[in-house]
Amino acid sequence: MSLEGRVALITGASQGIGRACALVLAEAGADVALGARNVEKLAAVAGEVEALGRKALPVPLDVASGDSVKDAIGKVLEAWQHIDILVNNAGITRDNLLLRMKPADWEEVLRTNLEGAYHCIRLVLPGMVRRRAGRIINISSVVGQTGNPGQSNYVASKAGLIGLTKAVAAEVASRSITVNAVAPGFVDTAMTQALPAEVRQKLLSFVPLGRMGTDREIALAVKFLASDDAAYITGHVLNVNGGMFMA
């Protein structure tokens, strides 16, 4: 599963699953552009990628802003001319019951998790179409398939990402570009560490494998979909959830 000579752009690469994707893709031989808002953390991840012998390019990026995405992707293309692999990983939660959810929290989550992927795909696709090659991997979530009370904004964004994945996969398949989603279950990162202990314990009881996933386990699935070994897989949702939801 070598990614030697490939260029990957990963959004939300400053920590958690995005950072793990950067390290795993770099281990497989890819050079990695790292996008997120926290530039200090991005610089630290860039150092980790370089320690693996690959090139890293940290780019300040707010996926919720079309202008910021344009600027960041412009910087990557200026430095490396092409992007072979796009991992749309940036994501946030603003949980509440729908009746109590403020419009701002609804909008921020949709703008970041779903529109952010739209902005990135729109700007990366033309180069992939020209090169007749490319891999797009969208990080959805198990709750995008099952629903989850208190997360209507997040669930809508993650279900939306699955629809986006399938529609774009059909649009660009004739150019040998694949578009897939990875749907993580309950993964040990800052996002889930922020949950109250009793909620974490309850979530764990729904996982047949009896433990949380690691960010690296999600990244290994991303690496597979990014590789030549997955050339005949497109429009797919790959569950990496310890059995939490069996499609």
Q: Which residues bind ligand NAP (CB under 6 A)?
A: 11-12, 14-18, 36-38, 41, 61-64, 89-92, 112, 139, 141, 184, 186-187, 189-192
Contact between 99 and 105 under an 8 Å Cβ cutoff? The reply is: no
Task: Closer to ligand NAP by CB, 41 or 75: give it.
Answer: 41
CB of 85 to ligand NAP, least distance (A): 16
Identify the burial level of 146 via C-beta atoms within 10 angstroms of its C-beta, where 0-12 means exposed, 13-18 middle and 19 or more buried.
middle
Q: What are phi and psi for residue 184, nearest 5 degrees?
A: -70, 155
Active site residues: 154
CB of 172 to ligand NAP, least distance (A): 22
Edge-first strand order for the sheet with 134-139 is 56-60, 31-36, 7-11, 85-88, 134-139, 177-184, 237-240
Identify the burial level of 191 via C-beta atoms within 10 angstroms of its C-beta, where 0-12 means exposed, 13-18 middle and 19 or more buried.
middle
CB of 201 to ligand NAP, least distance (A): 15
Residue 44, CB half-sphere, CA atoms under 13 Å: how many? 8
Q: How far apart are CA 26 and CA 83, in angstroms?
A: 14
Q: How far apart are CA 97 and CA 99, in angstroms?
A: 6
CB of 180 to ligand NAP, least distance (A): 15
CB of 140 to ligand NAP, least distance (A): 7
Task: Closer to ligand NAP by CB, 130 or 243: give it.
Answer: 243
Task: Closer to ligand NAP by CB, 110 or 129: give it.
Answer: 110
Task: Closer to ligand NAP by CB, 36 or 85: give it.
Answer: 36
Task: Closer to ligand NAP by CB, 148 or 176: give it.
Answer: 148
